[in-house]
Structure formats: C-alpha cells, structure tokens
Amino acid sequence: MTSSVSDLRLVLALDYGGTKHTAAVLAAGGRGWLAHKRVYSPPGADGDYDRATMIRMARELLARVEGQLAAVGVSFGGPVDATSGTVRLSHHVPGWGDTPLRDQLQAEFRAPAAVDNDANVAALGEWKFGAGQGCASLLYVTVSTGIGGGWVLNGHIYNGADGMAGEIGHIVVRPGGAECVCGKRGCLEVEACGTAIARKMREQSTASKVMEPFEVWTGESVARAAQQGDPLAQEVIDDAARMLGTGLGSSINLMNPQRIVLGGGVIKSGERWWRVVRETARAHALPQMRVDIVPAKLGDDAPLWGAVTLGEALL
Amino acid sequence: MTSSVSDLRLVLALDYGGTKHTAAVLAAGGRGWLAHKRVYSPPGADGDYDRATMIRMARELLARVEGQLAAVGVSFGGPVDATSGTVRLSHHVPGWGDTPLRDQLQAEFRAPAAVDNDANVAALGEWKFGAGQGCASLLYVTVSTGIGGGWVLNGHIYNGADGMAGEIGHIVVRPGGAECVCGKRGCLEVEACGTAIARKMREQSTASKVMEPFEVWTGESVARAAQQGDPLAQEVIDDAARMLGTGLGSSINLMNPQRIVLGGGVIKSGERWWRVVRETARAHALPQMRVDIVPAKLGDDAPLWGAVTLGEALL
C-alpha cells in the first residue's frame, strides 16, 4: 500500500478577531502552515460579513492544499459557550448574538469543529507551542486594550461552569478605584490595561500641566516616555504594574499555577514594568508558592496555534 | 464460591487535627462507619504523640472489624505535599516538619495511602458526600479561626504546582487593611475570619465605649449580638461578610466554579451574614456567571469523609 499526498489529514484553524480574521491550514501533527491568510475588516463589518469572509477564505486555502480536512479549530474574539460551540456575542462586531458557529462550520466543511473564546484558545496555543509548554497548570493573561485570561489545566482549557473562567480583568484590585465598563470600580482591567495607562497619564499630566491636554497618549507612548526617564510616566507604569502584580498574586494564592504567561501589547512596556509586576506578585503570594511569570512567545499567532490544538484534539 | 465477611475490603480514614484526631473504618463503597473514634490532644502534644496516638487508635478500630484493609485516606491539618504524601509542618503542633506520613502509614498498615491537607480533603468530602455533589467545579472555603480553601475540579482535588492551591485566605481584599500573619495587610483571613470579627468588635466597642474593654468577644458572641439587634455588632458582621463576598467574587471571576461551599463556625453567623456574602459576591462577579454559594453539609466530619474518598480512589 502506498499513501498519497491526498491522504494527508488537514486541520483548519480559524481566528475571528474584532478587526481582522485569520485562517490557516496545516497537516495534522505538522508544525508549519500549508496555507495562511489574514484579512482586515472594513468599517461597518457585521457578523454576516465576518462569517461569509471567513468561509470564503477557508475554502480558498483548502483548494490550494492537497489532503482531506479532518478537523476545524476556532478562536472567537468574544464570549463563547464552548460546550455547544455557540458564540454569545461580540463586544466589537454587531450581528454575532447567539450564533451556533460550531454547527455552522461543521455543516459547511463536513468535519468536526471546536470553538472557544480567544483568551482561552491563546492560552492553549501558548501551552502547546509557546511559553507554557509542559506546564500542568497555566494562567495566560493578555494585557492589551483590555485584560483577559484563560486557564489550561492538565492539557485542557478550563472553561468553568458558565464558560467564563479566566476573567481576571474584573477582579477588584483597587476598591473605590476607576470606574470599569462592568459597572464596578477598581477592576484590574481599568487599572492596568493599555487604555488605563494612557488614561492615567492623561489625567496626571493634565493635572500637573506637564503637557498640553490635547496631546494623545497611548499605552505604548507612556511606556516609551517611562523608559526615557519621564518620572510621571514611570509613576503611571509602576502603578499599572503594581495593580497587575496584585491581581496575579491573588490568582497565585487561589490556584498556585505552575506558570503565568503574559501576552498583549503592554508586555512591551520595558524591564521596569516586568520587575514591578513580578515583585508585586511575589509579595502577594504565599512564600511557599513559586511565582513563574514569563512573556508569551507566540504574539498575535497564539489564538491560531491554539485553534490548531483545539482541532487536533478532535482527531 | 461463597464470600465471607472477612473478604470485606476496608478503608481507613484518618483526620489529624490541631486539637483532636479522628479515625474511622468503613467498607469500601459503604456509607456508614464500622468503627469510629475521636480523641482530644492533651496540652503539650507533639508530632510523636500525634503519630503514635493515631496508629494505636486505628489498630484498635481495625481489630474490632472483620475484613481486609485495602486503603488509607488521610486529612492533615497543615501544609502537605500531596504528591509524595509528606507533611511539611503543622502550624499548631511541633514535631511535624517534613514527615513522610504516607510512607509511614503504608509501612505500618501494608496498604496504599494518600495524604492531603484538611481544606482540600474537606472540599473532596463535601463534593462526594455533602453540599457539592455532582459539581464539575467546586470551591470549598472554611471560615473559622482562619480562612482556608480547596478546589475539586472534575472529581479530583486540584493541588496546584506547589500543593498550595486554595489559599483564598491570603488574597488581599482591603489594601492597607489589618496586618495578617503572612506579613501582608488586608488579607481576606484577617478581615473576615472568626478571630477577625472578634478583634474588630473589641476595637470598635472599646473606641465607642459600648462595653468594658476586658469583656471577651468571640466571632460567635458578636454574631449573636448582631442577631439581637446590636448595631455595632451588625456593622462588624456586615463588614466581615462584605470582605468575604469580595474574595469570593474574585474567585468566581477567575475560575467560574459551579458552586462555592462555605464551612466553618462563622457560617452560623445568621441570615444577615449570608445575605451580605451572597450580595457582595454577586456584585463582584460578571453578570453571566452563576453565583451558587451554599453552606457545607458535613460540618466537622468533612475531612473524614474526604479521607474516605481519597482512600477509595486508591482501590
């Protein structure tokens, strides 16, 4: 018996983001893309647009590659009921409410599919291919325009009872602090994400008249100013890092994960930010607990590699 | 072939506490004790005393019961490395440092043994026999002279990387709050346990001259005063309940457990305490998460029933 190229079992990985969509195909067990494509969403894109675009893109990739599609793994940028593969909604794109995405994809591609939210899937990607390899328990936290998280325990995404585990962004780290989109005050997200860093810098610099109030700060520019020695920017970065370290410390005491992997743009805020995050987490965790906090390795590709892992688990 | 009584496979359950030790024997799969004994430790008891007492007690029970010992499950009141079954130390009794309790018991009784700390084992007991039955994810929290916790995920104790998971008592709920034994300030334990309730009442009532400073408050007497309408006691109880609800809210956001089971003496603080705990937890958790917080059912017997479950898992 000979095995032909067309016997190759393929995994389709899909990453539905708020502003961009990515699809990729690889051979089951393979570690390189056979085909890969990313498109950015035009203004006004909705759920219908997203779904049609992704399917067209996936069909195009699959047409280019010899082999048999065996499984589809999906990362979605919003709350998902992973058990049924149903998207609850997108916070960024209208027209995604209660979408049975897994069933739609299974009908479309005639292959088993699994869907989970992007923080969970990115956690799985980092566990399998990135900075969390070999860890029995992993907390992945993305610190970006918001703060999200996901758990991988014993090689599987831990979803929790309502599929909502990992919402570290909404634990309170500063009672009475800034107002969060969730309605509470002092949540980790509103005290430590990139948007929060920019907001604090704006507030502080306006108050101290360091700069014109119409100047626009971003998390990135504050980090740069801090690295260049601006004391106000350093204070803002330190504060955000302390808040993150506090939240991580709580997570360590509660779950004692083997490793915490930090992703998202804010992790590029420099050595100082990392030092304060680690020191604060260490100070909050009980002394017998190891505190292993490392940067993510896969960057923006973490959800896609996690989708591969989700797909391969179906084989 | 006939099966005789002496073919019965027995499980020995041992609960090493700070002030009392309990041993019990039951038939594997059975739900009633065949033999049971509890002894209180005399002043000055140390690790040697504890170990000898427990083995003598267990031997006595086993001599009374027909059957073959098949497994030993153990709850220990202090930090344990569950993987190796080694007791790290007891915070209450000297002479327990680095004791290979599992190996000692296996050598003594010639049966497989498993050892874990009391909060974890109690969590397992409540999951298997008590208020957590059927839950895929359970957080058990004991609110007593201190605050400890344990996780049962998918039917197994979740220990974490260093065997320290569940230390909810040391997440910070009031930054800058009271000084905790762990060296931090505002930990859940030092803001919400029974000792904390008594301390706050003492401080407040001394300050407001409600009572003579030499009167001794306990968590229990404060709760009773609150139930009888004492406004100061109500304030103290409310504050402790709010702090606990805050910590539970963080746990819910992080792990979205199906259920939280509360044990320990403080859960008898009345309807008002329960209402504030639940309301605060609800207010801190994201709206999509269910918040199911219920009282423990097994009381002081939770560790012993958990030890049975640990033992039966070895069969």
Residue B110: helix, strand or coil by DSSP?
coil
pLDDT of residue B92: 86
Query: How near does any CA of chain B get to the CA of A70, in Å?
Result: 29
Chain B residues near residue A175 by CB distance under 8 angstroms: 173-175, 246
CA B215 to chain centre: 29
Q: Do B167 and A256 touch (CB under 8 A)?
A: yes
Pairing of strands B259-263, B137-143: parallel
CA B175 to chain centre: 26
pLDDT score of A208: 64
Under 8 Å CB pairs connecting chains A and B tally to 129
Contact criterion met (CB < 8 Å) for B159 and A246:
no
Return the exposure string of A204-240: e unless at least 16 CB atoms fall within 10 Å of the residue's CB, then b: bbeeeeeeeeeeebebeebbebbbeebebbbebbbbb
What mean pLDDT is predicted for residues B67-91? Answer: 95
Residue B47 has pLDDT above 80, yes or no: yes
Q: Mean pLDDT over residues B81-89, rounded?
A: 95
Structure confidence at residue B5 (pLDDT): 58
* Chain A partners within 8 Å of B254 (Cβ): 149, 165-168, 171, 250-251, 254-255
**Residue B91 pLDDT more than 90?**
no
| pLDDT of res. A211 | 56
Whether B246 contacts chain A with CB within 8 A: yes
Q: Poorest-confidence range of A90-94, A156-160, A225-229, B156-160?
A: A90-94
- DSSP conformational letter for B84: T
Our CA-based measurement puts residue A253 at a distance from the nearest CA of chain B, in whole angstroms, of: 5
Chain A residues in contact with B283 by the CB 8 A cut-off are: 184
B170 touches chain A (CB under 8 A): yes
Question: What was the pLDDT predicted at A118?
Answer: 95
Q: Does any CB of chain B come closer than 8 Å to the CB of residue A78?
A: no
A253: nearest CB among B171, B255, B257: B171
Chain A residues in contact with B288 by the CB 8 A cut-off are 79, 88, 162, 164
Q: To the nearest whole percent, how much of chain B has pLDDT over 90?
A: 90
3-state DSSP assignment of residue B276: helix
Among partner residues B164, B254, B256, which is closest to A288 by beta-carbon distance? B164
Calculate how close chain B gets to A4, using CA atoms only, in Å.
42
Indicate yes or no: CB of B160 within 8 angstroms of CB of A284: no
Position A214 pLDDT exceeds 70: no
| Partner A, chain B 116-155, Cβ-Cβ below 8 Å | 136-137, 149, 151, 153
Query: Which pLDDT score, from 0 to 100, does residue B84 have?
Result: 96
B255–A184 C-beta distance less than 8 A:
no
pLDDT at B4: 60
The tens digit of pLDDT for each residue in B125-134 reads 999 999 999 9
Contact criterion met (CB < 8 Å) for A161 and B290: yes
Cα–Cα distance measured from residue B203 to residue B206, given in angstroms and rounded to the nearest whole number = 5
B205: confidence class by pLDDT, cuts 50, 70, 90: confident
Predicted pLDDT at B69: 98
Q: Per the structure block, which two tokens stand in for B296?
A: 């423990």
Binary contact (A286, B153; C-beta < 8 A): no
* pLDDT bucket at A206, cuts 50 / 70 / 90: confident
Average pLDDT, rounded, for chain B: 94
Q: What is the pLDDT of residue A204?
A: 86
Helix/strand number for chain B, H first, E second: 9, 12
Looking at residue B1, its pLDDT comes to 46
Nearest to A149 by CA among A252, A54, A242, A278: A252
Which amino acid appears at position B272 of this protein?
R
- Tokens matching residue A14: 């899909």
Chain A residues with CB-CB distance to B172 below 8 A = 246, 249-250, 284
Would you call A288 and B174 a contact, using CB atoms and an 8 Å cutoff?
no
Mean of pLDDT values over A58-86: 96
Q: For A169-179, write each residue's pLDDT tens digit.
A: 999 999 999 99
Radius of gyration (C-alpha) of chain B in whole angstroms: 21
Give yes or no for residue B31 having a pLDDT over 70: yes
User: Which chain A residues have a beta carbon less than 8 Å from that of B159?
Assistant: 256
DSSP per-residue letters across chain A: ----GGG-EEEEEEEE-SSEEEEEEEETT--S-SEEEEEEPPTT--HHHHHHHHHHHHHHHHHHS-SEEEEEEEEESS-EETTTTEE---SSSSS-TTB-HHHHHHHHHSS-EEEEEHHHHHHHHHHHHSTTTT-SEEEEEEESSSEEEEEEETTEEE--TTS-TT-GGGSBSSTT-SBPTTS-BSBHHHHHSHHHHHHHHHHHHHHTTSS-TTSPP-HHHHHHHHHTT-HHHHHHHHHHHHHHHHHHHHHHHHH--SEEEEESGGGGS-HHHHHHHHHHHHHHS-TTS---EEE-SSGGGHHHHHHHHHHHTT-
Q: What residue in B sits closest to A136 (Cα-Cα)?
A: B161
Q: Which domains does chain A have, with CATH numbers?
A: 5-125+300-312 (3.30.420.40), 134-296 (3.30.420.40)
Contact B284 A167 (CB under 8 A): no
pLDDT at B273 over 50: yes
Give the pLDDT score at A310. Answer: 98
CB of A167 closer than 8 Å to CB of A251: no
Q: In chain A, pLDDT over 70 holds for what percent of residues?
A: 95
pLDDT of residue B206: 72
Is A246 in Cβ contact with B160 (below 8 Å)? no
- CB contact at 8 A, A86 and A113: no
Among A19, A25, A9, smallest CA distance to A308 is for A25
Whether B125 contacts B301, CB under 8 Å: yes
Residues of A in contact with B255 (CB under 8 A): 151, 158, 160, 165, 254-255
Please tell me the least confidently modeled range out of A94-108, A214-228, B105-119, B247-261. A214-228
A13-28 confidence digits (pLDDT tens): 999 998 899 999 999 9
Q: So what's the pLDDT on residue B216?
A: 84
Do A161 and B258 make contact, defined as CB atoms within 8 angstroms?
yes
Distance from CA of B153 to the nearest CA of A (A): 9
Integer Cα distance of A223 and A234 in angstroms: 8
- Distance of residue A161 Cα from the nearest chain B Cα, in angstroms: 5
- Residues of chain A with Cβ-Cβ distance to B284 below 8 Å are 171-172, 184
Q: Which residues on B lie below 8 Å from A82 (Cβ)?
A: none
Task: Quote the CA–CA distance of B270 and B244 in Å, as a whole number.
Answer: 15
Measured in residues, chain B has a length of 315
Angle, CA A233 vertex, CA A271 and CA A293 arms, to 5°: 30
Q: Which among B162, B254, B256 is the nearest to A251, CB-wise?
A: B254
pLDDT digits (tens, 9 = 90+) for B146-182: 999 999 999 999 999 999 999 999 999 999 999 999 9
